[in-house]
Amino acid sequence: MEIRNFCIIAHIDHGKSTLADRLLEFTGTVTRREMKEQLLDDLALERQRGITIKARSVSMRYIHQGTPYEVNLIDTPGHVDFQYEVSRSLSCCEGALLLVDAFQGVEAQTVANAYNAMEHDLKIIPVINKIDLMHARADEVTEEMESSLGIDPDDVVRCSAKAGIGIEELMTAIIERVPAPTGDANAPLQAMVFDSNYDDFRGAITYVRMMNGTVKKGQKIKFLRAGSVHEVVELGQFVPQRKSCTELTAGQVGYLICNIKSLADVHIGDTVSTPGNDAAEPLAGYQRPKRMVYCGLYPSDGQEFSDLRDALERLAINDPSFEFEPETSDALGFGFRCGFLGLLHMEIVQQRLESESDIDLVQTAPNVTYEIVDTRGNKREIHKPQDVPDPNDIAEFRQPIVRCNIVVPSECIGTVMKLCQDRRGILRGNEYLSPTRSMISYDIPLAEVIYDLHDKIKSGTRGYGTLDYELIGYEPANLVRMDILVNGNRVDALSIICDRGDADRRGRAVAKKLKSEIERHMFEVAVQAAVGSRVIARETVPAMRKNVTAKCYGGDITRKRKLLQKQKEGKKRMKAIGSVEISQKAFMSVLSSGEEH
């Protein structure tokens, strides 16, 4: 049987999951009765938000001109934060369908994914989807693909995933253009682990792409990186549910179940081979994902700390691009410092924790990874503001810079350029994809991108602008750590790293917000923002007042003075020994709006 392995790559919302549904239906893999929209998006959160988060694989059978074919599809996410999932899928395939919306045309993520596929030497089949739309402009989009990606207009396949138009032509193109996998079924076993999942009844389920050799039920296998040996209890393929078979050979995609109790024993990017001296060479694996955004996650109820740790362990194994380590905060108690690929990734992880593990979370303000070179020449990474050393010990403070490619309608170029320049961006290029659309490139500090740049671009371009970014390196900048002091005590959870020129504005905004949220005490409370030992903003929460002279009517003024003096001394003593409790509500309001002011 001939084998073809391919994936679908596209910008978010261009119809990848719908096209996967049509291919499953067309090949008869799924009957019409079993069919439902976004069939491969099996996480509740994916269906709820209408986006793909995890890459999924499925095997289809198709007979073309009398020859039976096994066609393996890997459905991938489209959002920039899940780029790591896409890169893992690309290394398991020989071909890729580059899907473009017939109305929206080439977007920022389309360009990024196309270049990513070219780097993996994949055969690209350009596909224009949604041609049945009333306002489809397939010819103009073909020209855009030719000018921005150098694609031959004759190679473009036109289809509509929703209406099922052109699916047969697309299937023929996959079979005729995607090369068959190279691999020797008689060579020593060599398979790539590209994903894993945990089943409460079966243990760890390992997703593999067979490179060479054959694996059979009951056989002993070895994970080369982990060094562990296991027996294969069950193996099979996804159609799209798990379906067991007796063996998997070179070129196939499937799963292995080996009664592995802990997912920590399965490393994504590991090589599966046979134990002993005739084991195959380990495969190159994957580049480690670089976490760009860090934030603290704390259980709102301190008792749930161990539950949160178990939930994070389960999630980190299934999603290797996410990491965590324990930390403590004076204000929030025990929790974890977590690293994510981007802001959407952070939001998704938080929602998965709350829905799948039923834990109520408090999240601190997100921040990016910085580099510091100290006066002794040592370089280290800073994941949280509390780790920033004394300003006298810092020789150079570096921030991550990203190259942003923004595709916008031509009439919105001025708005977007102003947005980028306000965020200290440097223009790197501007090219026209068509008379009405342009792609602008800017180098912008990542800290300025992650908060709200995407939202601002969407609103400034009436929803037509799209953003894609990639890290290009670290550059020196004039950065400082801004601390928030309440009653003279530093509140560690509210410290942030920001540009020196921006510190005054942000400090005033946070101090003002805290003043309105902190409850009044019997003594006045000073809320200050400080950079090092210099206070840059201050607000005062006034003390509750009691009229101690109310009972004095007429009489000697010295009696009133004595009472007021006594009250003043009592307030002074209270201030010295009194502590200010900052409520959870006050924290949440500052963390959610401190960045927006």
Q: Residue 259's domain is classified under what CATH number?
A: 2.40.30.10
Per-residue pLDDT tens digits for 77-131? 655 556 666 666 777 788 888 888 888 888 877 887 788 788 888 888 889 988 8
Which residues of the chain are under the pLDDT cut of 50?
Answer: 38, 41-42, 46-47, 593-597
Same domain flag for 147 and 67: yes
Q: Clarify whether residues 165 and 19 are in a common domain.
A: yes
Residue 132 annotated as binding? yes
Residues 425 and 552 in one domain: no
Nearest to 416 by CA among 454, 379, 445, 366: 454
Same domain, 149 and 238: no
The CATH number of whichever domain residue 297 belongs to comes to 3.30.70.870
Last residue of a domain, one of 447, 476, 505: 476
Q: Known binder of ligand: residue 16? A: yes
Residue 237, pLDDT score = 84
CATH assignment at residue 80: 3.40.50.300
- Residue 59: the pLDDT is 82
The answer to the question of whether 130 is labelled as a binding residue is: yes
Which pLDDT belongs to residue 54? 54
Whether the Cβ atoms of residue 210 and residue 249 lie closer than 8 Å to each other: yes
The three-point CA angle 538-544-545 to 5° equals 120
**Does the annotation place 562 within a ligand binding site?**
no
Domain that holds residue 211: 190-273
> Within this chain, do residues 230 and 310 fall inside the same structural domain, yes or no?
no
In a domain? residue 129: yes
- pTM to 2 decimals? 0.69
CATH number of the domain encompassing residue 430: 3.30.70.240
User: What Å distances lie between residue 221 and 216, 366, 491, CA to CA?
Assistant: 10, 42, 52
CA dihedral 443, 79, 385, 298 (to 10 degrees): 170
User: Same structural domain for residues 380 and 346?
Assistant: no
Say whether both 96 and 127 belong to one domain.
Answer: yes
Is there a single domain that holds both residue 396 and residue 435? Answer: yes
Q: Is 512 annotated as a binding residue?
A: no
Structural domain total, the chain: 5
**pLDDT confidence of residue 594:** 42
Q: Are 229 and 169 within one domain?
A: no
Q: Is 196 labeled as ligand-binding?
A: no
Q: Does residue 538 lie within any of the structural domains? A: yes
Q: What whole-number distance in Å separates Cα of residue 171 and Cα of residue 126?
A: 13
Q: What is the pLDDT of residue 596?
A: 43
Asked if residue 339 belongs to a known ligand binding site, the reply is no
18 annotated to bind ligand? yes
152 known ligand binder: no
Neighbouring C-beta atoms of residue 82, cutoff 10 Å: 24
Say whether 17 counts as a known binding-site residue.
yes
Domain membership of residue 282 (yes or no) is: no
257 and 383 part of one domain: no
Rounded Cα–Cα distance for residues 442 and 430 (Å) = 9
In terms of Cα–Cα distance, which of 119, 493, 61 is closest to 237?
61
Is the same domain home to 7 and 145? yes
280 assigned to some structural domain? no
